[in-house]
Amino acid sequence: MRYLIIVLSTLLLSPALFALDIPRLMLANVYSNNKASDIDISHYWVSEKYDGVRAYWDGTRLLSRQGNEYHAPAWFVAGFPKSPLDGELWLARGQFDRLSGIVRKQQPVDEEWRLVRYMVFDMPQLAGTFDQRLNEMRLLADMPDWLIIIKQWRVSDEAELLRQLDAFVKAKAEGLMLHHGDSLYSAKRSNDLLKLKPSFDSEGFVLSYEEGKGKFVGMMGALWVEALITNDDGLAEKQKFKIGSGFTVAERKNPPPIGSEITFQYSGLTSKGKPRFVRYWRRRQ
C-alpha cells in the first residue's frame, strides 16, 4: 500500500503531466486618448472585438491562451488548414457565458458545436507584415463555413473610429480592435494591437438636463453629471461632463431625477482627465 501511494504521488507530481503547449500570442494594449499623439489611426485595420474565447489553432488542436485544449468535435476541425491560426471561438453578441459552457466540456456535444464559429484574425507563423498576413488569410479556400476570416477595414481618423464604436456598442458588440498594418506577429503586448471598448464604469450625480433635438424633441437630450474620476496617475478628481447616449426612449421621456446617482460606462480619458465616449448604463437605487 505504501509503495502504491509513493508511485501515485510521483506520477501526480511529475512535471510532464502538467506540461502545456502554451501558445505565444500577440496581446493588445488598451486604446485611449492619452496615446492618441503616438497613434496614426490611418495605419490600422479595424475589426469587431468578439466576446468569445481566444483560441489558437496549432495545425491539429484548438488551444486556449493557457495551453488547454478545447475538445472540439473531429468534424469541426476536419477542414482547418495545417497553418496555425489565431482567433476566437464565438456564438453571437452577448452569448459569452453560453459559449464558454459549450467549448469547455470534455465531451463535446455536436448540436451545441454546430452553433459555434471560429473567427480568425491572424496567421501567427507567417512571415511579413499584418497587411501581408491579411492578404494570405483572405486567400484561404475550401474552409468550413464555421471558419470565418473576420472583416477588417480602415478608418480615416479618431472621430470616425469613435462613431463606429458607438454604432457597434449600440448593436451589442463588445468593442473594436485595431491592428497596425506594418506590424510583425510578436508574442507580447504592444501598440501594434489595440482594443477599444467602453470597459470602464463609474458613478456620478445628475446635475441638470439638456433639451433633446431632432427625434428627441420634447424629451431629455443629455444629462450633465458630476463624478469622481481616477486618472492614469491614480488620483481622483471631480469632473463635470455631459452624457448624451445609452438611453432608451422611455428613459429620455422619464430621465433620472436631478440629484440621483447613476452608473455610466466610458472608454479611457481625454487629455483633460474627463471620461471619454461616455454612455449611460443605469440608475443606482
Sheet with 261-266: list strands edge to edge. 236-243, 220-230, 200-211, 261-266, 279-283
Q: Are 89 and 148 in contact (CB under 8 A)?
A: no
Bridge partners (DSSP) of residue 147 are 118
Cα 47 vs. chain centroid, distance in angstroms? 10
Q: By the 8 A CB rule, do 87 and 120 touch? A: yes
Copy the grid coordinates of residue 113.
458545436
The candidate with the shortest Cα–Cα distance to 147, out of 133, 136, 137, is: 137
Q: Which residues are catalytic?
A: 49
CA distance 211 to 64: 49
How far apart, in whole angstroms, are the C-alpha atoms of residue 101 and residue 68?
Answer: 15
Task: Please name which of 195, 182, 187 lies closest in space to residue 84, comparing C-alpha atoms.
Answer: 187
